[in-house]
């Protein structure tokens, strides 16, 4: 087969790099005090390092795989800790290499000493993401799965946890593999018709070809359509509390976060800085900013607070306009509501103080008229908690793009690199379908199909350059 379109249809396994000969070690848990902390060692010398730093009844190099050993961690003659060592023998380990994991008491100082002891005994410090990179290089997982490890570690919502775990367990890889097989099959049949022009092989009819490409394109597009949902639950949204002073923004901030973070006083204009905290609103990660009230500043420090509030408004995805339900809509409220054109919720706070006879519908109607993009409108009391669940729901609904909260079947894209590559694949498939439809030669259709195949392959890591790999894994932390 000499045709360049069909070269490298079966990529070679990635050639193992020389640096896999090193044994690496690093602290794998965050550097804070905790019940446990873990130091991980991986590579051909893992057990020799382990035997130098750990003493138990049987040397680690002699125990079977998947054994836990109780013993003593040492640096030279000094005892560092009572610890447990978990032994995994290649290839049945996270990295596919010999691995020892020391579970110690979780003191940052102690963990650094254990790491130093491992380095003294022949390991070198792992680079960021190097354990997971080795798992990829040793064929334990493909690149999409390796990236899912980072997504799982960073997840901020139940949805992104579930989607990252599914991806780690191979859901995206399996889908891409099935698209790849069908693409390869089309390419092989096109190739057959190129090689056997004399009708020895039944021709793939153009209709058949266009419709097969069309269905691959459609499936790639529907995978791409999950990206906004993935982004939403991965990054969350930025919401900002705005409104005139003293309507209860700081009280709502504390109530939404379930914490006494913002200072609440009866004197108007006391929130002069912006405060920022994250919480889950109906499962959606929200970074909430409390701002100084929006009014003309009376002293320089308040004016600065108002300037910061405006900057926070500009940077936000959703504005929560807070009004005082016990104090009818003022001219100042109306001016504030007219600001900008962001998706917004109107919150009438202090419902506990409002006259029970007030016409909520009429107040709501008047406020909505002042907003260019009104969404939810809720009455709440930061003091009694009335309506707070409704506010959380309204916040999540307002922040979600249309259909953003629907959970469909199959994997959800969580990683921007995948989104960009699948966009390339879908565009190449669209071009191939066009070429096929307009009767262009098989070689032209095949060229576009090859582009689609290359893009799909780069998601799972086939044919990805070392530079790209280094770039991807350098974004991990040390110890991952
Ligand atoms: P901000 O200036 O908009 O941040 O308002 P604050 O949160 O500092 O609240 C101003 C005053 O209103 C404080 O005395 C709060 O205790 C009071 N306040 C806030 N929310 C409520 C509420 O829902 N009901 C009642 N009765 N008082 C509230």
Q: Half-sphere exposure of 174 toward its Cβ, with a 13 Å CA cutoff?
A: 8
In a domain, 479, yes or no: no
Same domain, 118 and 46: yes
State the pLDDT at residue 300: 53
Same domain, 301 and 374: yes
Q: Give nearest CA residue, ligand 1 atom 12.
A: 248
In a domain, 6, yes or no: no
For residue range 156-209, what is the model confidence (pLDDT) as tens digits? 999 999 999 999 999 999 999 999 999 999 999 888 776 655 555 456 788 899
Chain mean pLDDT for the chain: 85
User: Following DSSP, what letter does each residue of 3-40 receive, concatenated?
Assistant: -GGGTTSSPPPPPPPGGGGS-EEEE-S-SS-EEEEEEE
Distance 54 CA to ligand 1 centre (A): 59
Same domain, 99 and 53: yes
Q: How confident is the model at residue 407 (pLDDT cuts 50, 70, 90)?
A: low
State the pLDDT at residue 271: 47
Could you identify the atom of ligand 1 that is nearest to the CA of residue 251? 7
At which of 368, 399, 430 does a domain end?
Answer: 399
How many whole angstroms separate alpha carbon 363 and alpha carbon 270?
27
Same domain, 352 and 222: no
In a domain, 465, yes or no: no
Distance 377 CA to ligand 1 centre (A): 19
In a domain, 366, yes or no: yes
| CATH code, domain with 288 | 3.40.50.300
- Given a cut of 60, whether residue 13 has pLDDT beyond it is no
Distance 249 CA to ligand 1 centre (A): 7
How many whole angstroms separate alpha carbon 133 and alpha carbon 437?
42
| CATH code, domain with 46 | 3.30.1360.120
**For residue 346, what are the contacts with CB-CB under 8 A and spacing of at least 6?**
321, 323, 337, 364, 367, 368, 371, 374, 376, 377, 378
In a domain, 455, yes or no: yes
Same domain, 384 and 415: no
At which of 346, 370, 399 does a domain end?
Answer: 399
Same domain, 252 and 393: yes
For residue range 112-134, what is the model confidence (pLDDT) as tens digits? 999 999 999 999 999 999 999 99
Q: To test the ligand 1 pocket, which listed residue (242, 246, 330) has its Cβ within 8 A of the most ligand atoms?
A: 246
Judged by DSSP in three states, 461 sits in coil
How many whole angstroms separate alpha carbon 229 and alpha carbon 233?
6
For residue range 249-307, what is the model confidence (pLDDT) as tens digits? 999 999 998 755 554 555 555 544 668 888 888 889 999 998 865 555 555 555 666 67
Residue with the bigger pLDDT between 362 and 462: it is 462
Q: To test the ligand 1 pocket, which listed residue (261, 321, 382, 384) has its Cβ within 8 A of the most ligand atoms?
A: 382
Residue with the bigger pLDDT between 325 and 215: it is 215
Same domain, 67 and 207: no
Cα distance from N-terminal residue to C-terminal residue, the chain = 42
Could you identify the atom of ligand 1 that is nearest to the CA of residue 253? 7
In a domain, 170, yes or no: yes
Domain that holds residue 73: 18-142
Same domain, 109 and 186: no
State the pLDDT at residue 197: 56
Q: What domain count does the chain have?
A: 3
Mean pLDDT of 245-249: 90
Q: Give nearest CA residue, ligand 1 atom 6.
A: 248
Maximum mean pLDDT: which of 135-139, 271-275, 357-361: 135-139
In a domain, 9, yes or no: no
State the pLDDT at residue 2: 36
Same domain, 422 and 385: no
The encoded tokens of residue 35 equal 């019940």
Same domain, 413 and 390: no
Q: How confident is the model at residue 329 (pLDDT cuts 50, 70, 90)?
A: confident
| CATH code, domain with 447 | 1.20.120.430
Residue with the bigger pLDDT between 62 and 478: it is 62
How many whole angstroms separate alpha carbon 186 and alpha carbon 75?
61
- Given a cut of 60, whether residue 61 has pLDDT beyond it is yes
Could you identify the atom of ligand 1 that is nearest to the CA of residue 384? 23
Could you identify the atom of ligand 1 that is nearest to the CA of residue 322? 3
Same domain, 313 and 431: no
In a domain, 452, yes or no: yes
Q: To test the ligand 1 pocket, which listed residue (243, 244, 245, 248) has its Cβ within 8 A of the most ligand atoms?
A: 248
Q: Give nearest CA residue, ligand 1 atom 20.
A: 248
Same domain, 388 and 250: yes
């Amino acid at each position: 087969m000499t045709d360049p379109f069909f070269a490298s249809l079966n990529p070679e396994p990635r050639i193992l790099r020389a640096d896999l000969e090193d044994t690496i070690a690093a602290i794998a848990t965050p550097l804070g005090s905790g019940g446990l902390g873990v130091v991980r060692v991986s590579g051909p010398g893992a057990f020799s390092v382990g035997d130098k730093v750990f003493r138990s009844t049987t040397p680690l190099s002699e125990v079977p795989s998947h054994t836990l050993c109780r013993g003593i961690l040492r640096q030279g003659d000094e005892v560092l800790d009572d610890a447990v060592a978990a032994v995994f023998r290649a290839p049945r380990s996270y990295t596919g290499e010999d691995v020892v994991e020391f579970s110690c008491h979780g003191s940052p100082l102690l963990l650094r000493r254990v790491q130093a002891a491992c380095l003294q005994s022949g390991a070198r410090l792992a680079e960021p993401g190097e354990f997971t990179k080795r798992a990829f290089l040793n064929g334990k997982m493909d690149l999409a799965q390796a990236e899912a490890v980072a997504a799982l570690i960073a997840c901020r919502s139940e949805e992104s946890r579930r989607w990252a775990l599914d991806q780690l367990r191979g859901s995206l890889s399996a889908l891409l593999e099935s698209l790849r097989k069908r693409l390869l099959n089309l390419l092989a049949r096109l190739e057959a018709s190129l090689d056997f022009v004399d009708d020895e092989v039944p021709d793939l009819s153009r209709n058949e070809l266009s419709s097969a490409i069309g269905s691959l394109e459609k499936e790639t597009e529907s995978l791409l359509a999950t990206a906004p949902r993935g982004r939403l639950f991965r990054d969350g949204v930025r919401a900002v509390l705005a409104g005139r002073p003293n309507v209860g923004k700081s009280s709502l901030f504390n109530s939404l976060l379930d914490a006494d973070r913002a200072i609440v006083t009866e004197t108007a204009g006391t929130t002069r800085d912006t405060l920022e905290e994250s919480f889950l609103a109906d499962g959606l990660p929200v970074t909430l900013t409390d701002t100084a009230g929006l009014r003309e500043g009376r002293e320089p420090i308040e004016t600065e607070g108002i300037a910061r509030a405006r900057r926070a408004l500009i940077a936000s995805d959703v504005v929560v306009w807070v009004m005082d339900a016990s104090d009818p809509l003022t001219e100042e409220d109306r001016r504030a509501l007219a600001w900008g054109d962001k998706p917004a919720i109107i919150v009438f706070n202090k419902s506990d103080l409002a006259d029970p006879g007030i016409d909520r519908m009429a107040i709501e109607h008047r406020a909505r008229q002042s907003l260019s993009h009104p969404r939810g409108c809720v009455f709440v009391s930061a003091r009694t908690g009335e309506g707070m669940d409704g506010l959380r729901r309204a916040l999540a609904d307002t922040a979600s793009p249309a259909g953003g909260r629907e959970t469909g079947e199959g994997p959800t894209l969580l990683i921007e690199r995948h989104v960009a590559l699948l966009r390339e694949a879908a565009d190449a498939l669209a071009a191939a379908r066009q070429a096929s439809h307009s009767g262009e030669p098989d070689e032209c259709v095949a060229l576009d199909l090859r582009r689609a195949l290359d893009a799909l392959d780069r998601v799972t890591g086939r044919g990805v350059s070392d530079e790209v790999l280094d770039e991807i894994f350098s974004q991990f932390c040390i110890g991952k």
